[in-house]
Structure 1
Amino acid sequence: MIMQGVIKQIFVDNWEKFSEIYKGKIRANISREVDKMINCKSLDNGFIEFKCENCGHIKRVGFSCKSRFCTSCGKKKSEEWSDEMVARLINSKHRHMVFTIPQELRIYFARDRKLLSLLPKCSAKAIMSWFRDLNKKECFTPGIISVIHTFGRDLKWNPHVHLIVTEGGAGEITIWRNTKHINYTALRKRWQKILLDEIGINLKSGKKEFKKLKNKLYKRLENGFYVYGKGEIKTAKQAGKYVGRYTARPAIAESRIIKYDGKKVTFRYERHEDGEEVVEEIDVIDFIGRVIRHIPEKNFKMIRYYGIYAKNTRHKNKFFKLVNEKVAEFKRKINNWQTRILLTFGVNPLKCEKCGTQMKFHDIYYKNVSVREKFKEKIIGENKIKIEEIMYNYGVIKGIIRDKIEPLYV
């Protein structure tokens, strides 16, 4: 069985070598995210200190890196996003859709990563235009949550977008209309045209070559680009399952890595075409290259909201939620380090190893400096003048200081 933290170990062992091989070719954000992941929970970067009031035992927990790239922090972030998205869903059936692109287009998104924002934008536009065409007067608006993925199951570059879409929309007159049938043939053609037009507009160079490719794709793919949409979501439990699986998670889970011997990495994945399990062994440097390729640019939003799920929509508070708001709030409150470990492993991390007493928060350290001591110094400094003033007033009242002016500050 593969050890926990194997991905981090792979980078600890090989990142320096990889950086030397590809010097000058690594995006700045990749270096930042990898360094954060390698130093995740290192006590050198600071820690929280817990203390047992019964026996005095101290436990120190290093700060997490909070990077989406880190398998530990990324998983936590993915779960938080999943809960947040499910809490947004209205009490309606939803459909899970996947909008894909042909292989010839993948290189454009690799060269210019800003183009990735076109995937959710254009797929949402295709869906919303189809809904609105159902009734021009009503102009029905669905709810859409989209998640950009750049990786396939084999970790190769394969940009596509996953969407959670309401099976219905809010109209200008009618409050809500359910839509049982979605015309995927129409969606594929709309998706193809809207995306190709937007790529052509946003390309910085090579527009002539792209125009030729565009014509070839129209001829070869007469039915449009492939759109999958058979995943039906009826309950909050199903929503959590779908959203949790496809939200902005790390490119590979540690459970998929079978073996790492220092030179080679063996991992498994389920082939999309036939559901068969494939085991692949690759050089560790190649593995690192495949994984880091999917690190997004700094502040790039992998999750986007459209239609009635957009932030500033007039439909925001019209509908009942799929998940009760009190339940969603409770989940947010219990989503902390201690509770997650307790629920996952059945172990209370704050139970004293020496005497079994519940440990309490004691201090925070940044760069080996105690926050408790800093606060003490600050409070003492701020109150020193007040103490001197009080002492002087006390002396006057008691008659110790008479008939002369004493300075308040020395």
Structure 2
Amino acid sequence: MSRPVLEVADIFRGHGPAWRQANAGHVSLGQLKVMSAIENCRTAALGGHVARCENEKCAYTQIAYNSCRNRHCPKCQGTAVREWLAEREAELLPVPYFHLVFSLPAQIADIAYHNKAVIYDILFKASADTMIAIAADPKHMGARIGVLSVLYTWGSALTHHPHVHMIVPGGGISLDRERWVACRPNFFLPVRVLSRLFRRLVLERLDAAHRAGQLQFFGKHVALTNARAFAAYLAPLRDSEWVVYSKRPFGSPEEVLRYLARYTHRVAISNRRLVALDDNGVTFKWKDYRIEGPARYKLMTLDTHEFIRRFLMHVLPQGFHRIRYYGWLTSQTRVRNIARIRELLAAPLIPIDTIKAVNAKPEEPKAPEHPCPCCGGRMRIIETFLRGQQPRHRRSPVSPKIRIDTS
């Protein structure tokens, strides 16, 4: 895949120093670390290695710099998602999978910005508890379900929009663990019922967090430190409709994997969405979800400092997990539960090592993981260099493209 013409790293390198200076004292250490990681990603600052083609007639030489592996870096998510998907593949079941989205109202999103760890955690747990409680109710499914949740904090225009995407198998284990309870065809759980319980759980937990002194307020929200003012701020939300969205079920486990690959390791904006960086600012593609059809795809230009501010707004607190599992998918019991479900479904348990072995097709010659771009041969590492060092070897010159002028 070719390198994008413009990258977030280019914006940070060119305008990051001025932005940091202009916002000194208002930038967290975590945000500064993310900026530094993205700026240094795949540069000599992180070290790297030199590889040369084993074909003596070719001897093509290339330099590869190390990745920062920061979870907010647009360039580092490909490897992370491949490793993660390899583990998920063995957990897929031969049942429909559903995609649900739980969103926080704008009033709560406003105060979540300065209370990320607390309110994002409430969002995760309230949405998962809602799903598990309604599914366990005999009026609906009467079963224990498994939930994979992924936190998104952004809208397409880089605005602050905290919401959770859930991938849920279409059914659950009966409460006595003796049978698999399938959901209705093309229907998982009633979204209105989910919405109302979700609303109640979030508001209850926000109130408890406020009473425990876990929330901080700044600027126009500083008055919310007062318990009465906070209660009045939340009061209109108790009667409003909260957004819970359920999409159609997936067609196959393979489709689930493709979907997970798109969703689980996203960052606030990918390099592919960047269009231009000039005196007007940063221009990027975005999607207006209020409009249907091709007209929803638009371009937006933000002042460069505003673009950086919006990007860094989505840096998560250190150690905060944005992919979580609930119900029978929790890590402590996941393997045992999946084995039991496969028994109930009469589906064979496929160990992950077996899946990897099948995918590798050992009876066929395995192509080089990183083939020579010149002849397709195998590249061999001939030198490694540490952070801040320059390699002793030089890369092979790039052959100029031949252009034919037919004018």
Specify the TM-score bucket, using the shorter chain as the normaliser. 0.7 to 0.9
AA partner of residue 309 (structure 1): L
- Equivalent of 1:216 in 220, 233, 236: 236
- Change in CA separation of 1:122 and 1:86 when aligned onto 2, cut-off 3 Å: farther
Q: 2: CA distance between counterparts of 1:282 and 1:65?
A: 26
Give structure 2 stretches of 5+ with no counterpart: 216-224, 391-407
Q: Is the counterpart of residue 192 in structure 1 residue 199 in structure 2?
A: yes
- Change in CA separation of 1:360 and 1:155 when aligned onto 2, cut-off 3 Å: same
| 1:307-322 alignment, distance < 5 Å | 307-313=327-333, 314-320=336-342
Q: 2: CA distance between counterparts of 1:260 and 1:331?
A: 45
- Change in CA separation of 1:332 and 1:70 when aligned onto 2, cut-off 3 Å: farther
1:294 corresponds in structure 2 to 314
- 8 Å contact from structure 1 (residues 87, 322) kept in 2: no
Q: 2: CA distance between counterparts of 1:306 and 1:281?
A: 39
Q: Is the counterpart of residue 351 in structure 1 residue 358 in structure 2?
A: no
1:33 corresponds in structure 2 to 34
Q: Is the counterpart of residue 258 in structure 1 residue 278 in structure 2?
A: no
AA partner of residue 329 (structure 1): K
Q: Normalising by structure 2, report the TM-score.
A: 0.78
1:156 corresponds in structure 2 to 159
| 1:45-84 alignment, distance < 5 Å | 45-52=46-53, 54=56, 58-84=61-87
Q: 2: CA distance between counterparts of 1:193 and 1:68?
A: 32
What are the Cα deviations for residues 201-234 of structure 1, in whole angstroms up to 9, with x where unaligned? 1233524322222322113x1xx41100023113
Report the secondary structure of 1:145's partner residue.
strand
Q: 2: CA distance between counterparts of 1:37 and 1:360?
A: 27
2:395 corresponds in structure 1 to none
- Change in CA separation of 1:252 and 1:241 when aligned onto 2, cut-off 3 Å: same
Q: Is the counterpart of residue 19 in structure 1 residue 20 in structure 2?
A: yes
Shift of 1:113: 1.0
Structure with the greater relative contact order (CA < 8 A, sep ≥ 6): 1 or 2?
2
Give structure 1 stretches of 5+ with no counterpart: 371-410
List structure 1 segments (4+ residues) > 6 angstroms apart after TM superposition: 331-334
Shift of 1:287: 0.7
Shift of 1:328: 4.6
| 1:90-239 alignment, distance < 5 Å | 90-114=93-117, 115-134=119-138, 140-173=143-176, 174-180=178-184, 181=187, 182-203=189-210, 204=213, 205=215, 206=225, 207-219=227-239, 221=240, 224-239=241-256
Shift of 1:196: 1.0
Structure number with higher helix proportion: 1
Q: 2: CA distance between counterparts of 1:316 and 1:366?
A: 44
Q: 2: CA distance between counterparts of 1:364 and 1:185?
A: 58
CA RMSD of the aligned region, Å? Answer: 3.2
Q: 1: CA distance between counterparts of 2:159 and 2:11?
A: 18
Q: 2: CA distance between counterparts of 1:261 and 1:133?
A: 57
- Change in CA separation of 1:85 and 1:110 when aligned onto 2, cut-off 3 Å: farther
Q: 1: CA distance between counterparts of 2:356 and 2:291?
A: 40
Q: 1: CA distance between counterparts of 2:62 and 2:74?
A: 24
| 1:359-378 alignment, distance < 5 Å | 359-367=379-387
Shift of 1:112: 0.8
- 8 Å contact from structure 1 (residues 89, 323) kept in 2: no
Q: 2: CA distance between counterparts of 1:29 and 1:331?
A: 41
1:279 corresponds in structure 2 to 299
